[in-house]
Chains A and B, each alone.
Chain A
């Protein structure tokens, strides 16, 4: 141990002031165990650059990545009754909520924002799994309804990005009725003739999957996301045998007809733009007169002339 480390450095640090250093500069990839540097991971949209494993993406990062130029406007969500059941397990539910809010710097699990997506207006409702497992309570239901109404108001498509373990059991029946309520939300979008696209992110399970998340016009899944109704462990315990390889993963769901496509996070924005453009801009931007329609004479150059022209062009090129 030298005098340098013991004495000088702390002093310099004190002079410079405390820098904001994140606690976990390095994170282990849950799939391949490689160490990932936080900045690299962020720059790579939380995708492991060794094995392409898609780690969970915080909702705000998701919005920033999807909207044009990372620009979007969050909408204020309606206030809801907090802890309607005065629920307590080992701890009071309100304390669980406060912890989650302090940890995530967010009020609730769902963020709703609008902005441009490939030039089109779009509304995105994104879940954040780090907020109490992205669980769906009254707040999430209200957020989905607000998102649907905003989409209607703006005549814009609605994109839902669930990442949720299911219903928030601390809200009891209040959480179960969010299944019909979020379905009513997407019904409003559908009835307005607007596209509703679901991007199933890891994980989407339980009541969240069995409501708005399975009723999209298009279902996109992120690679290797866990998607299912009943938890795998419960199924394993019930049937008493090992589950098939890849069970309840995106690719498995694609094989079984539950999603339209599995899309890498890097291609997600492009895919969404293509789909929305197709569904929102249904006719060509300008009127195009079809060729050979019979109404218009198109002069056809004679073959000999054409050859001559081609030769001339070749000569010109040779001169250069």
Chain B
């Protein structure tokens, strides 16, 4: 059963009709095929119209779509011989951030990112992509391994934020995030980041301080969730939509403001409608960036990354 968002209702109805007709076609009526292709054209038109002018709030919903490709889907599609690495060597393994060694289009890389999970079991296993300090400490460890062996790092961002829990706080959530950011800024290898879904605040930027930062067309990246922002600044829960608009959290906004280096187009109707197309477009864009970055000296890469962030917002809008 496909999951439809509120604003996709007209599309859902059309697709429902197509389904019905397909069942009828067993009866041998020839006109049905024509009818189906007509309806399909209509669906495409609807999708094109709807997705061409999504509001910020609608983008938030698409970015959180449960059927959107997740970290594991990207690894399956893009990484050969994926060899997961686990644990922070201090306390625990945190499956909200997963990663390891792998071969990406010929290059040996370290890939890591948030995994939200795709069904009840995996969602619980990955804690809905909300990492605890161990997750960030593991990220730091993996990035350090990459740094030592000169392997490029790919990070995929998809989290509503770091996990709000008692244990997470006790074990130093803030310190773990700060160290992880520091590691992103310090490594002497290419670090390529793609926001594939939700970029939720500190829990996202902890592993998103890249040489190059890309966003999928309908992903979002924000300092606070629109719901949180709405309830704090408007003092009620009704203003998430206004907050989403005001925060300028879409890929188009952030590209325009200079925080994101490129926007990767999603297939018609969003990434959740065509995993293969999405994962390969992400792969192609990452490969292009990687080919440019691998020839640059590590020290230069590090210095440039630091310069990039120092310059951000320092001289007005970039």
Contact = CB atoms under 8 A, between A and B. Distances in A.
Q: Do A and B come from one complex?
A: yes
Interface of A: 78, 80-81, 84-85, 87-90, 138, 141-142, 145, 167, 169-177, 179-181, 183-184, 187, 206-207, 209-215, 228-230, 234-235, 238-239, 243-244, 247-248, 256-258
A176 B157 CA distance: 15
B162 A207 contact: no
Contacts of B201: 167, 176, 207
Contacts of A234: 164
A247 B166 contact: yes
24 contacts: A84-B316, A84-B317, A89-B243, A89-B246, A90-B233, A90-B235, A141-B313, A169-B223, A170-B233, A171-B223, A172-B222, A173-B254, A176-B222, A177-B259, A177-B313, A180-B185, A183-B181, A183-B182, A184-B309, A210-B174, A212-B178, A229-B169, A248-B169, A256-B172
Interface residues of B, number: 53
Interface string B177-212: 111011011100000000000000110011001000
B249 interface: yes
Contacts of B309: 177, 180-181, 184
A87 B178 CA distance: 27
Main secondary structure on B side of the interface with A: helix
B248 interface: yes
Interface string B255-280: 00101000000000000000000000
B174 A176 contact: no
A211 B222 CA distance: 17
B290 interface: no
Interface of B: 162, 164-166, 168-175, 177-179, 181-182, 184-186, 201-202, 205-206, 209, 221-224, 229, 232-235, 239, 242-243, 246-249, 254, 257, 259, 306, 309-310, 312-317
A46 B83 CA distance: 56
Contact of A167 (B175, B178, B209, B223): B223
A235 B181 contact: no
A214 B172 contact: yes
Given A90-B233, A169-B223, A184-B306, A235 B166 contact: yes
Contact of A239 (B166, B221, B234): B166
Nearest to A238: B164
Given A88-B246, A184-B306, A256 B170 contact: yes
A200 to B, nearest CB: 11
Contacts of A141: 313
B223 A207 contact: yes
Contacts of A235: 164-166, 169
Nearest to A145: B310
Contacts of A90: 233-235
Contacts of A239: 164-166
A167 B315 CA distance: 19
Contacts of B166: 235, 239, 243-244, 247
A145 B223 CA distance: 21
7 tightest Cβ-Cβ pairs between the two chains A and B:
A89-B233, A230-B164, A210-B174, A209-B174, A210-B177, A176-B223, A81-B316
